[in-house]
Amino acid sequence: MDYEITIGGRSEKVTLSRSAGEPEQYEFQGAAWDQPLRVTVVRREPSQLVLSIAERIYSVRPFRRSPGGAEFLVNGELVSAALVAKGGPKAAGAGVASVNELVVSHFPAKVVRILVANGARVKAGETLLILESMKMETHVDAPRECTVLELFVAEGEMVNRGAKLTRLDFG
Amino acid sequence: MDYEITIGGRSEKVTLSRSAGEPEQYEFQGAAWDQPLRVTVVRREPSQLVLSIAERIYSVRPFRRSPGGAEFLVNGELVSAALVAKGGPKAAGAGVASVNELVVSHFPAKVVRILVANGARVKAGETLLILESMKMETHVDAPRECTVLELFVAEGEMVNRGAKLTRLDFG
Amino acid sequence: MHEFQRVLIANRGEIALRVLRALRTLEIESVAIYSDADASARPTIEADRAFRMPGVSPAETYLNGAQIVEIARRSDCDAVHPGYGFLSENSEFARLCRENSLTFIGPSPEALATSGNKLACKKLAEARGIPVVPYTPDPLEDANEAARFAEEIGFPVLLKSAFGGGGRGIKEVSSRDDIREAFESSRREAESAFGRSAVFVEKKLVRPRHIEVQILASQGSAEVVHLGERECSIQRRFQKLVELSPSPVVDAETRERIARHAITLAKAVEYSNAGTMEFLRDSDTGEFYFLEVNARLQVEHPVTELVNGIDLVASQIEVARHGKLPFRQKDVRPSGVAIECRINSEDPLSDFVPNTGRIEYLRLPAGPGVRVDTALYEGLEVTPYYDSLLAKLIAWGPSFEEARRRQLTALHEFKLVGVTTTIPLHREVMVTPSFVHGELSTSFLSDSGVLKRVSEEAQRSDPDRFAIAALILSKNQFREPTSPRLGVATAPRPPSFERGGRFIDGL
Amino acid sequence: MHEFQRVLIANRGEIALRVLRALRTLEIESVAIYSDADASARPTIEADRAFRMPGVSPAETYLNGAQIVEIARRSDCDAVHPGYGFLSENSEFARLCRENSLTFIGPSPEALATSGNKLACKKLAEARGIPVVPYTPDPLEDANEAARFAEEIGFPVLLKSAFGGGGRGIKEVSSRDDIREAFESSRREAESAFGRSAVFVEKKLVRPRHIEVQILASQGSAEVVHLGERECSIQRRFQKLVELSPSPVVDAETRERIARHAITLAKAVEYSNAGTMEFLRDSDTGEFYFLEVNARLQVEHPVTELVNGIDLVASQIEVARHGKLPFRQKDVRPSGVAIECRINSEDPLSDFVPNTGRIEYLRLPAGPGVRVDTALYEGLEVTPYYDSLLAKLIAWGPSFEEARRRQLTALHEFKLVGVTTTIPLHREVMVTPSFVHGELSTSFLSDSGVLKRVSEEAQRSDPDRFAIAALILSKNQFREPTSPRLGVATAPRPPSFERGGRFIDGL
């Protein structure tokens, strides 16, 4: 197995090898599956690849690069894939827990309440702050017991997607 | 009137002048219309301009350049516009008849029959050749009395869009 | 009784997608076939499996019955749905399916052979007292024979292919001078479209209405139900452009009468599955004349579906697998009116000449009662190899007037850039007074002056458009990629607007 | 009796487009309003005229009644359609319209004031012998009072805003410990959403079904008809996710009974125009309890439209301009079943937290019986300022099973890239055995384990996807524009594939 590929949190060891001749074809094998698959490039355009795999036809469109991999559309569905280099370290974005964790907002929102102070020790499930977006409140809770190291926002503040809210210490 | 603009075969003399201040606004006047119009740029994005004209809102999207002008989408409808430069010659593509006329295929087709020979004198409405596309025959007729100067195709031949079929002399 | 686990769709475009959706709702697997022109078409991508048919011509691909049957066998299909056109009315293909233990979703090979012979059907109808338009009872040997018969019944006449449909091979002839060229052209088109060049002459009625009855028959015509009529009078090149159901001139008594004719004919040919009996209505007498049998699903089947709340394609599959009808005549309860407009890649202002190109921008309409059957998508290349139908826009309403207004609203919402279409024509048809009053005939396009209004509308001098053009052109806001690098390495970059820069001076 | 020449649409998004379509089919001109976030929205572009409301917050824009009335007057509108949400149930706004000679397309200000007061409506219902769930008859002063009542009737209870709807301000409380925080949170949400913080306590039924009756009333309730019921039991955060009509548990006799209750209540509040009476059905006893009046068009109105073949928005406009109903009870002939799925920009796997982004790819489903109500387009920025509804997908079929299969087929066809949506959830709901058998309750999401299956599906290890990923990643076929020049001068260039080039070695 030559590569390790991660899609949607699952990693699989796979091999891909070019077959001789035309049309452009590859043989794909994965440790998780018994049978090899033949991948044929049916058509190659700048904005899409048309592939055939066991008589299923796929329109693959590029979308954007992502950490350690790429995102692309397969028949209109988004697939995020990352490559784990042979023997190398795990790619970024694989969700490895750290001791210090930065909590960011996943959406633009208004901070309606802050329920903890800097330095506070909080229990698992305790609400740290409350955001409002699209007319609904969302509670940001502590995933495990931790200490609030820093608060980056104030009550009433509007935050963008990706804005830092607080830093927690799980140590 | 500063410019002459052609859309869909109609030409109009018009003036456009920038008004002072923000938001970006223009005053438009045309010889054909009594009232001037105020054109406001509501939003400017690379892929679209949002304009307001007398409380009608237009999404304008670029499409491609055309001879002497450009094609763009106005609320999803294609508009082909050309600019006739002040005092200059009429822009190309305005459909001026010439003495020698090249007849081209407007669509990919198969030439199923050729009914005239080189040098033949034909009457208005006489069929020159017959094309087949999308399972239908299309007759290519002489628009006026003319002489067949040249035939570029043979029976049974497949032609692409824009392919030269014949050249006629109306002199 | 056969259970279908997997069905091959022997067609392309919107009808392949329509059949695919029916199979999905019946939880049956789908197998698509695709020509090289259709490798990234929607049915190809969306089917459970798809097989290549090398080449682009119909003969190499969607008319290649032997290869289609081979694919169906190889992929363990139980049945084949032929859609419309291509092999749908081909009795040899239906026979080949049967010989290979594949259920052909349509009539039997025998019923197809009879139905496809227009002259034989006319004789069957006559024998049962159903009026038919005067015609030559045998295929014509040469143009002289055609001329002789035409003079006997009086011009104008129609030259028609004895086999096949879809308007191909039909030529109108109004005088003896034109009959030779028309005869040859008709034979050529018939040969090219159906592989059979037999041609006959039929009297042309003046301004008739085209009205057809949808039927559904069980195996061997044991039970035959009708689903009311469709009026398809608005045509160009003898092909339908606008279809509606019910017809504004058909009352309950007339419907009963022509439906009875249709059912009689179906039983006469031992018809099974979905089919259509076409009639012409004489504008002077109101008399209905039987024209021909369309032994397949029709392009315009959605208007019948919307009025009856019945899925005709699913019903076809049910009949094919169980032999029986999925409903009875008393279960058919029509309600309201549906209108279909065919959106073709044709230029209504240039005699409906077809055109090809890339779909650069597409926005499909929607709303209550609105349905769009299409396989279009942005980026699709419309090729010259197959027919010019891009989409079918169907609107239902409780009344004709409500259906008409919804259709008009939807036509204004429908945006398609890249090929010239019939959309502007349909917008004008919907507001033409004779259409609004339901006064239709096969001469509608020429009689109503609608093409002139389409042309005027295209020339309309809208100040807003000139103001927008002035801004775009004078300020040179329009920018194309400066160095378009072609080839596979880069995607085409869309043009864009830029601020500043001068195209001409003065501003 | 007023003829409407021009109507202002006081809303945004899919419902503004829905009203716009109804106006077009009635040949009435439309005036849109737009916030700065909605300058290039579909209703803005498509309306006959559109007026800017500076700002993005609801308070500055779609809730700014004074400015909306000013625009309506300035543009010579005859009437205002409020859609749902925003000002649709605001009696002060309806009064302001009336004072400015504008017809408010909805109930009178007086009927709105009564209908909007949940406690008053419950009392009216009780007085007429219509069962209601136990509740505190007056708004609560503080959390202690709430706790006292909750202990009296027993936990769990719901804290609810006395005014307004849409699930905002509702908190479930299962023990005394949680009641203080819930009380404060409920008041805050109510204040933010409706400007009124009054809160009361209601007994929470165990696994009830949410069933509501659609009514249409003439001016002053002289005539009131019903259009059957909708079941909206599948909810998250007390907001509806899936709605259907008719309900699998409502038989003809029950329908008659709850419709009579609904009509009685409508007459009690002198209701006019379209409205909905909500009920809860106790799962143990089958008893129906009146819950509240929704004095507006509902989000889920399309299911009623598809089952009855009636355009509810056009009917609203007809009632507003003529005072009378456009049809009678005997004209209402329901047929078949319709199911609506709300496609929201929410992540079902993260407690339905809303998310924003740009719609990068969009393909809407279609097919027989399928309707999509949406103002989405590729390139649209989904902003955080308004609610999370992106589209409503509605499927009709002759039976529940056929409607369900069409909905499932359509959900698989629905492609949307750019924000996380509820589409994968709905796909799983449609195949969940309890849904297939019509066994629903407001606890459906937690009881059925559907979220777990959505999560498993997202993790599914499909070899084809890994094979595709291997090809794309290992061969570095994926290319982004090498020098993305940002700003207004260039359009973003889409990424593309390239042949050759190596991402890692070994191939």
Contact D494 C491 (CB under 8 A): yes
pLDDT digits (tens, 9 = 90+) for D232-278: 999 998 899 999 999 999 999 999 999 999 999 999 999 999 999 99
Among residues C296, C321, C406, C427, the one annotated as catalytic is: C296
The nearest CA of chain B is from the CA of C212 a distance in Å of: 24
Are C218 and C192 contained in the same domain? no
Question: Measuring CA to CA, which residue among C73, C370, C127, C164 is closest to residue C269?
Answer: C127
D48 has pLDDT over 60: yes
pLDDT at B159: 86
The bridge status of strand D209-217 relative to strand D273-281 is antiparallel
C-beta atoms of C51 and A43 within 8 A: no
Per the DSSP assignment, residues forming a β-bridge with C394 are C340, C371
Inter-chain residue contact D25 with C402, CB threshold 8 Å: yes
pLDDT at site B85:
58
Residues A56-71 pLDDT 10s: 999 999 888 777 888 8
pLDDT band at A89 (very low <50, low <70, confident <90, very high): very low
Query: Tokens 């670029």 appear where?
Result: B62
At which residue do the structure tokens 């409706």 appear?
D194
- Best mutation target, D180, D353, D507, to test chain A (most A CBs within 10 A): D353
Taking the Cβ of residue C496 and every Cβ of chain A, the question of whether any pair is shorter than 8 Å is answered with no
Domain check: are D316 and D243 in the same one?
yes
Report B:9-48 residues touching C (Cβ under 8 A).
Answer: 9-10, 12, 14, 16-18, 26, 28, 30, 32-33, 37, 39, 44-48
What is the pLDDT, as a whole number, of residue D480? 54
- 8 Å CB contact of C413 and D46: yes
Distance from the Cα of D306 to chain C's closest Cα (Å) equals 8
Nearest CA in chain A to D236: A136
Collect all residues of chain D within an 8 Å Cβ-Cβ radius of residue C367. Answer: 18, 21, 371
Q: Are residues C279 and C169 in the same domain?
A: no
The Cα A131–Cα A123 span in angstroms is 20
Chains with ≥3 CB–CB distances under 8 Å to B: C, D
Domain with residue D26: its CATH number is: 3.40.50.20
Show the domain range for D162: 134-203
Task: Return the residue of B nearest to D74 by Cα.
Answer: B55
Residue D485 counted as domain residue: no
- B46 with C496: Cβ contact below 8 A: yes
Q: Above 60 in pLDDT, residue B93? A: no
Among candidate residues C203, C234, C254, the one where a domain is terminated: C203
Chains that touch D (3 or more CB pairs under 8 A): A, B, C
For residue C39, the chain A residues in CB contact (below 8 A) are 42-43, 50, 57
> How many Å separate Cα C102 from the centre of its chain?
26
User: Cβ of C499 and D490 within 8 Å?
Assistant: no
Average pLDDT, chain A: 83
- Which residues of chain B make contact with D45, given a CB cutoff of 8 A? 57-59, 75
Count CB-CB contacts under 10 A for residue C71: 22
Cα distance between residue B33 and residue B36, in whole Å:
8
Mutate to test the interface with C, among B105, B128, B133 (most CBs of C within 10 A): B133
Complex ipTM value: 0.84
For residue B91 the two structure tokens come to 């822009």
Mark whether C98 is an active-site residue: no
Let me know if residue C122 belongs to a domain.
no
| D387 interfacial to chain A (CB closer than 8 Å) | yes
Encoded amino acid at D114, one letter: T
A43 and C40 within 8 Å at the Cβ level: the answer is yes
Going from the C-alpha of C33 to that of each of A39, C72, C88, D78, D133, the distances in angstroms are 18, 10, 15, 56, 59
- Confirm whether C30 is domain-assigned: yes
For residue D45, give the nearest of B47, B55, B57 by CB distance: B57
Inter-chain residue contact D497 with A49, CB threshold 8 Å: yes
> Residue C454: which of C427, C434, C414 has the closest Cα?
C427
Does the distance separating the beta carbons of A137 and D189 come in below 8 Å? yes
Amino acid identity, residue C215?
Answer: I
Contacts of A65 in chain D (CB under 8 A): 478, 480, 495
Shortest distance between the Cα of B100 and any Cα of chain C, in A, equals 22
* Touch between chain A and chain B: 3 or more Cβ pairs under 8 Å: no
Nearest to C409 among D25, D374, D479 (CB): D25
Tell whether D62 and D94 lie within a shared domain: yes
Say whether both C245 and C369 belong to one domain.
yes
Classify residue D70: in a domain, yes or no: yes
The arithmetic mean of pLDDT across residues B16-45, rounded, is 91
Q: Which chains touch C (3 or more CB pairs under 8 A)?
A: A, B, D
Judge whether residue B95 has pLDDT over 60: no
CATH number, domain containing residue C175: 3.30.1490.20
Q: Which two tokens stand for residue A87?
A: 């023997």
Query: What pLDDT score was predicted for residue D494?
Result: 59
Rounded distance between C-alpha atoms, residue A127 and residue A137, angstroms: 12
pLDDT given for residue D501 in this prediction: 32
**Model pLDDT for residues D440-484, shown as the tens digit of each residue:** 999 999 999 999 999 998 888 899 999 999 998 876 565 554 432
Name A114's bridge partners. A129
Q: In chain D, which residues have their Cβ closer than 8 Å to the Cβ of C412?
A: 24
Residue D238 lies inside a defined structural domain of this protein = yes
Q: Which residues on B lie below 8 Å from D75 (Cβ)?
A: 55
Q: How confident is the model at residue A100 (pLDDT cuts 50, 70, 90)?
A: low
Write down which residue in D183, D203, D223 finishes a domain.
Answer: D203
Q: Is residue D51 part of a domain?
A: yes
Please indicate, yes or no, whether residues C385 and C270 belong to a single structural domain of this protein. yes
Query: Are residues C148 and C227 part of one domain?
Result: no
- Does any domain span residue D265? yes
Q: Which two tokens stand for residue B23?
A: 């938001």
Q: Distance, in angstroms, between C35 CA and closest chain A CA? A: 12
Determine the average pLDDT of the residues in D299-319: 98
Number of domains in chain C: 3
- Measured torsion, CA atoms of residues D175, D178, D183, D189, in degrees rounded to the nearest 10: -120
Q: Is B108 on the interface with C (CB under 8 A)?
A: yes
- Of C40, C48, C379, nearest to A50 by CB-CB distance is C40
What pLDDT is stored for residue D92 in this prediction? 96
Q: pLDDT grade, residue D486 (50/70/90)?
A: very low
Min CA distance, D237 vs chain C (Å)? 29
- Name every chain C residue with its beta carbon within 8 A of the beta carbon of B8: 458-460
Read off the tokens for D291: 């819950």
Contact D319, D218 (CB under 8 A): yes
Query: Which chain A residues touch C44 with a CB distance below 8 Å?
Result: 57
pLDDT digits (tens, 9 = 90+) for D376-434: 999 999 999 999 999 999 999 999 999 999 999 999 999 999 999 999 999 999 999 99
Sorting pLDDT into bands at 50, 70 and 90, what band is A99?
low
Whether residue D492 has pLDDT greater than 50:
no
pLDDT at D401: 98
Average pLDDT by stretches of 10, chain C with 507 residues: 89 98 98 96 97 94 97 98 96 98 98 95 96 92 90 92 80 91 89 83 94 96 97 93 98 97 97 98 95 96 98 98 96 97 96 92 97 96 94 98 98 96 98 97 94 91 92 70 31 50 29
Given a contact cutoff of 8 angstroms between Cβ atoms, the answer to whether D63 and D56 are in contact is no
- From the list A14, A112, A161, which residue is nearest D470 (CB)? A14
Q: Is there a single domain that holds both residue C162 and residue C101?
A: no
CA A64 to the chain's CA centroid: 13
A58 touches C at CB < 8 Å: yes
**Which residue out of C12, C38, C45 would a mutagenesis test of the A interface target, given it has the greatest number of A Cβ atoms within 10 Å?**
C45
* Predicted structure pTM score: 0.88
> Does D190 fall in a domain?
yes
* Binary contact (A59, C491; C-beta < 8 A): no
Name the nearest CA neighbour of D165 among D14, D297, D255, D267: D297
With beta carbons less than 8 A apart as the criterion, state whether D24 and D317 touch: no
Test C48 with A45 for CB contact under 8 angstroms. no
How does strand C6-9 pair with strand C29-35? parallel
Q: How many CB pairs under 8 A join C and D?
A: 102
D211 closest CA partner among D199, D226, D195, D229: D229
Q: C387 and C242, same structural domain?
A: yes
pLDDT at D190 over 60: yes
User: How close is the nearest chain C Cα to the Cα of D205, in Å?
Assistant: 36
Is the backbone peptide bond immediately before C246 cis, with ω within 30 degrees of 0? yes
Q: Answer with the one of D179, D203, D227 that is the final residue of a domain.
A: D203
Rounded mean pLDDT of D478-491?
37
Q: What is the CATH number of the domain that holds C408?
A: 3.30.470.20
Q: Are residues C298 and C334 in the same domain?
A: yes
D420 with D446, same domain? Answer: yes
Q: Nearest CB to D379: which of B42, B47, B55?
A: B47
The answer, for D379 touching chain B at a CB cutoff of 8 Å, is: yes
The reply to whether C30 touches chain A by the CB within 8 Å rule is no
> What is the residue whose two structure tokens read 């076409």?
C278
Q: Is D101 exposed, middle or buried (0-12, 13-18, 19+ CB in 10 A)?
A: exposed
CA dihedral D257, D258, D264, D269 (to 10 degrees): 180
- Residue A158 — pLDDT band, cuts 50, 70, 90? confident
Concatenated DSSP letters for B110-161? Answer: EEEEE---TT-EE-TT-EEEEEEETTEEEEEE-SSSEEEEEE---TT-EE-T
Chains within contact range of chain A (3+ C-beta pairs < 8 Å): C, D
Taking the CA atoms of D282, D285, D288 and D289 in sequence, report the sign of the dihedral they define.
Answer: negative
Domain co-membership, C234 together with C313: yes
Burial of C138 (0-12, 13-18, 19+ CB in 10 A): exposed
Chain C residues near residue B140 by CB distance under 8 angstroms: none
Range in B4-8, D29-33, D299-303 the model is least confident about: B4-8
Contact D479 C496 (CB under 8 A): no
